[in-house]
Amino acid sequence: MMYPVPDNEVERVAAVETYHVTDTLPELSYDDIAELAAQICQCPVGLINIIADTREWLKAKYGLPPDLTYLPRGTACSTAICQSDLLTVPDLAKDERFADQAAVKGEPHFRFYCGMPLINTEGYALGTVCVFDFEPRKLTFEQSESLRRLSRQTMAQLELRRKLIELSGARQALESEKTRSDELLLNILPAKIADELKTRNEVEPRHYDSVTIMFTDFKGFTRIAEASEPRTLVNDLNQYFSAFDEIIEHHNLEKLKTIGDAYMCAGGLPEENRTHSVDACRAALEIQEFMTRANRQREKMRLQPWELRIGLNTGPVMAGVVGKKKFTYDIWGDAVNVAARIESNGEAGRIALSESTYHRVKDQFECEHRGLIEAKNKGLLDMYFLNRINSESSRD
């Protein structure tokens, strides 16, 4: 069946979709308007009809079966949305535009129609508020005016609906952006510190009596960098540091930063614990094992190995957040400097321990005494190598 369409049909249908009203459950506020339209106009049928692309969605109905939710596009309402004011058809059976319609020729034998288009503020007709009768008739002036008022009231309900949908979308977007912001913050700050920053807009510097600091770097990295393609170099670093991230997280350590080929993390903060020295040693052994496997694979591919040095020290530090636009959670103190010296004076492929860390873990791990070393700006430092977990201390 052919039916007229508005000149702006494509835009009109798009506008209808912004209200998310088709295929929705009945709502009392709309049902009341449909019933009121029928009663004021003294008609047996009243509708709020939303005209979609190919269907007419009966958002509210009075006088029709409750299971009837939509009609194929092409009723008198499809004609009504092509104009800006009431469409009144005193006798549908005598109007050539509608005489052959199924609901006119057959059941329920509609004869009278009056519909007012629902026009939004952008000028798009979304549908109609309309009434039907089974007998030819006319409306009084007052009834026609009432139908116009009910159309405006319906349109106000629809606009409120759209505003609520837009508000919900904005809220969801805001929540999504907040979640993304929180995730980004957690990528650079420990969860406890991130919560404090969000709550207080600052982080109070804190002293820790005992933490274990780990430094790693790659021997001959400058030479490796000069011989590698930039993309390959970055990809390799990313692969290794990402593996380190997973390992230290598993052992309850906190990543602090990377600088070039150097990687720094610590145990015992921001949540204090008594196992940080053992945790750090276990993480160091797992990192060492990972790099051994990685270098075996590189050897098969005839690639230069990446030889890792690891150094650990245990002692007191101050911790806090620095920066306003790019936050960094960092630690300071002599214990940090000692850890750096222990690492830089270590040997490739081995894990170096300070005397302080050694005495805390010697019962759980097999270590060997390296002896005193001359460390820059620190004088003589006693150093040990961590070899493996004691067999009686090993665990899954």
- 3-state SS string over 372-393? EEEECCCEEEEEEEEEEECHHH
CATH 3.30.450.40 correct for 9-168: yes
Q: Is the dihedral of CA 55, 60, 63, 67 positive or negative?
A: positive
Alpha carbons 386 and 282: distance in angstroms, whole number:
10
Alpha carbons 15 and 29: distance in angstroms, whole number:
21
CA 50 to chain centre: 34
| Residue 200 DSSP label | H
Give, for 369, the enclosing helix (H) or strand (E).
strand 365-375
Angle at which helices 141-188 and 191-200 cross, to 10°: 130
CA 6 to chain centre: 40
Alpha carbons 368 and 363: distance in angstroms, whole number:
12
Walk along the chain (396 residues) and give the pLDDT tens digit of each residue.
578 999 999 999 999 999 999 999 999 999 999 999 999 999 999 999 999 999 999 999 999 998 999 999 999 999 999 999 999 999 999 999 999 999 999 999 999 999 999 999 999 999 999 999 999 999 999 999 999 999 999 999 999 999 998 888 888 888 888 877 777 766 667 777 777 766 777 777 889 999 999 999 999 998 888 888 999 999 999 999 999 999 999 999 999 999 999 999 999 998 999 999 999 999 999 999 999 999 999 999 888 899 999 999 999 999 988 877 777 788 999 999 999 999 999 999 999 999 999 999 999 999 999 998 887 777 888 999 999 998 766 554
| Residue 234 DSSP label | H
Superfamily of domain 202-393: Nucleotide cyclase, GGDEF domain (3.30.70.1230)
Per the CB < 8 A criterion, the answer to whether 47 and 62 are in contact is yes
State whether residue 259 is helix, strand or coil: strand
Say what the pTM is: 0.59
The dihedral formed by the CA atoms of 69, 140, 124 and 93, expressed in degrees to the nearest 10? 60
Query: Which among 47, 192, 176, 35 is positioned nearest to 115, based on CA atoms?
Result: 47
State whether residue 323 is helix, strand or coil: coil
Domain ranges of the chain: 9-168, 202-393
Tokens of 125: 């007709």
